[in-house]
Amino acid sequence: MRIAYKKGISIILVMLMVLGGFNGLFIGGGKAYANHVTVQFAGGDGSEGDPYQIATAPQLDEIRNHLEANNHFKLIADIDLTEYLSEDGAGYNDGEGWVPVGEHYDSFNGKLDGNGFKIMNLNKPNYLLFK
């Protein structure tokens, strides 16, 4: 009886470990995003004629949730990421700077019009805004 009990507990523990390993498949494990709260763009509907308007760092970060090829974005102001990426900022990433938007398997496919504005202080020289 005691041996059967130990085997049963062992099987349950192994199953929990296996299921726990699937966490990254369903919840985006390993991604270093800030605690995500949906951010509204400054305007637009994402179409070519009315692109999503981006004026703040959180709005720029929101692009990562709209990677589809048919989405269009347009900067409407200079964006300085210094405060956003600081230790107390919403985009803090353990001092590693901006997390590029997209992944190799899920890259940014939309269009971003800089509209003459700048994105400053990604916190890494030669760092990517998008992957």
- Do residues 8 and 58 both lie within one domain? no
- Residue 21, domain extent: 1-30
- Do residues 19 and 74 both lie within one domain? no
- Do residues 11 and 59 both lie within one domain? no
Confidence label for 57 from pLDDT (cuts 50, 70 and 90): very high
- Do residues 65 and 115 both lie within one domain? yes
- Do residues 75 and 128 both lie within one domain? yes
- Do residues 15 and 42 both lie within one domain? no
Residue-level pLDDT at 125: 55
- Do residues 49 and 83 both lie within one domain? yes
- Do residues 15 and 45 both lie within one domain? no
- Do residues 17 and 78 both lie within one domain? no
**Long-range own/partner contacts, residues 65-69 (CB < 8 A, 24 or more apart):** 65/36, 65/38, 66/110, 67/101, 67/102, 67/106, 67/107, 67/108, 67/109, 67/110, 68/109, 68/110, 69/109, 69/110
pLDDT (mean) for 45-49 = 95
Q: 3 by DSSP, 3-state: which? A: helix
And the tokens for 102?
């997209």
Evaluate if residue 36 carries a pLDDT over 80: no
pTM: 0.67
Total number of domains in the chain: 2
31-62 burial, b at 16+ Cβ within 10 Å, e below that, comes to: eeeeeeeebebeebeeeeeebbbbbebbbbbb
- Do residues 10 and 25 both lie within one domain? yes
